[in-house]
Amino acid sequence: MTKLKYCVLSLFAFALTTAFAQDSNILHTIADLEHRLQFEKFEVFRQHDARFEGDMAKTLIVRWSDQKVMRAKLKRAAYRGQATNNEPRYEIAAYRLQKLFLDPEEYVVPPTVLRSMPLEEYHKIEPYAVQLLTILRPCSSSSSTGWRTSIARKSTKKSALNRILCTRSIWET
Amino acid sequence: MNILAYLIEHKDSNIGNFLRSTDLRNALGVVAQFEVQNGQILPVDFTENLKTSRGVRQNGAIIQFGLMHHEIKGVYDRMQHLLKRVDAGKVKIF
């Protein structure tokens, strides 16, 4: 019996910080960036805490399956996907809002998605994270926009959302 | 719709008169959605807003994220305020 451990919901966003990252990220269309962030597997080539040691937000250099390398930022979501100063839905809303009046080449908010991953996999990034559902947020170069969310795994609260997540956490094959 | 309203000097800024405001609701009411399928949490196409008064919603196997109704109205109101300041020359654009 293999336990399929907790799925991590991550919100992802790219930051174009260094010249290296700019050069690599800018070669891709918005659609391609969104698709990679949302669906494609990646490995973490390098990482560091975004703003200070122990920061939940991480700046990553990720390598995709086609060996292309990009810089991204992510942050675990808070318990149940939202918390004060940790609202990944705001990050996505900001990204989507600009789509109403800007052309892709004019975007000022980097592509940002919500993404899930197994906790085992996420432990490669943050070994002691115990969240069941983690939503990654965006990253940005100088300030911002990276984030991620998470929903705690061992909650005793009985909300429907939590039950669903807990159900997933004990999923077995 | 916005530009047409502007061209005919439509002065009524009622939210219902602007197509873009409808877009705001569509674009921001649901910003991410997942479904639990066979032990995985997968991104899926958006469905209707499960509850406009909540930001993180859940119904069965569906988990939905979006802005609440009052948050969307806040975005709209701030946009109008900003546009007024631009029109008044208080905010420079380039």
What is the C-alpha to C-alpha distance for residues A79 and A87, in angstroms, rounded to an integer? 11
**Tokens at B94, concatenated:** 């380039």
Q: Which residues pair with A132 in a beta bridge?
A: none
Is any Cβ of chain B less than 8 angstroms from the Cβ of A79? no
Task: Work out the average pLDDT over A75-88.
Answer: 79
Q: Model pTM? A: 0.70
Say if CB A147 and CB A46 are below 8 A apart: no
Range with the poorest average pLDDT among A30-34, A77-81, A115-119? A77-81
A101: nearest CA partner in chain B: B20
Q: Look up the ipTM and state it.
A: 0.77
Is any Cβ of chain B less than 8 angstroms from the Cβ of A41? no
Say if CB B30 and CB B49 are below 8 A apart: yes
Q: Is the pLDDT of residue A159 over 50?
A: no
SS3 assignment, position B22: helix
Q: What pLDDT sits at residue B11? A: 58
Is any Cβ of chain B less than 8 angstroms from the Cβ of A144? no
Map out the domains of chain B as residue ranges.
2-84
| Cα–Cα distances in angstroms (integers) from residue B32 to residues B27, B42, B81, in the given order | 10, 11, 28
Task: Work out the average pLDDT over B35-44.
Answer: 83
pLDDT digits (tens, 9 = 90+) for A15-64: 433 334 444 566 788 888 888 888 888 888 899 898 899 888 888 888 88
What is the C-alpha to C-alpha distance for residues A109 and A140, in angstroms, rounded to an integer? 9
Map out the domains of chain A as residue ranges.
7-169
Task: Work out the average pLDDT over A2-13.
Answer: 41
Residues of B in contact with A135 (CB under 8 A): 65
What is the C-alpha to C-alpha distance for residues A123 and A133, in angstroms, rounded to an integer? 13
What is the C-alpha to C-alpha distance for residues B47 and B58, in angstroms, rounded to an integer? 12
Nearest Cβ partner of A93 from B39, B63, B67?
B67
Task: Work out the average pLDDT over B80-92.
Answer: 91
Taking each continuous run of H as one helix and of E as one strand, the counts in chain A are 5, 7
Beta-carbon count within 10 A of B86 CB: 12
B87 phi and psi, to 5 degrees?
A: -60, -35
Q: Is the pLDDT of residue B93 over 60?
A: yes
* pLDDT confidence band for A164 (50 / 70 / 90): very low
Q: What pLDDT sits at residue A104? A: 87
Residues of B in contact with A114 (CB under 8 A): 31-32, 34, 43, 65
Is any Cβ of chain B less than 8 angstroms from the Cβ of A173? yes
Closest CA to B75 of B15, B17, B19, B5: B15
* pLDDT confidence band for B16 (50 / 70 / 90): low
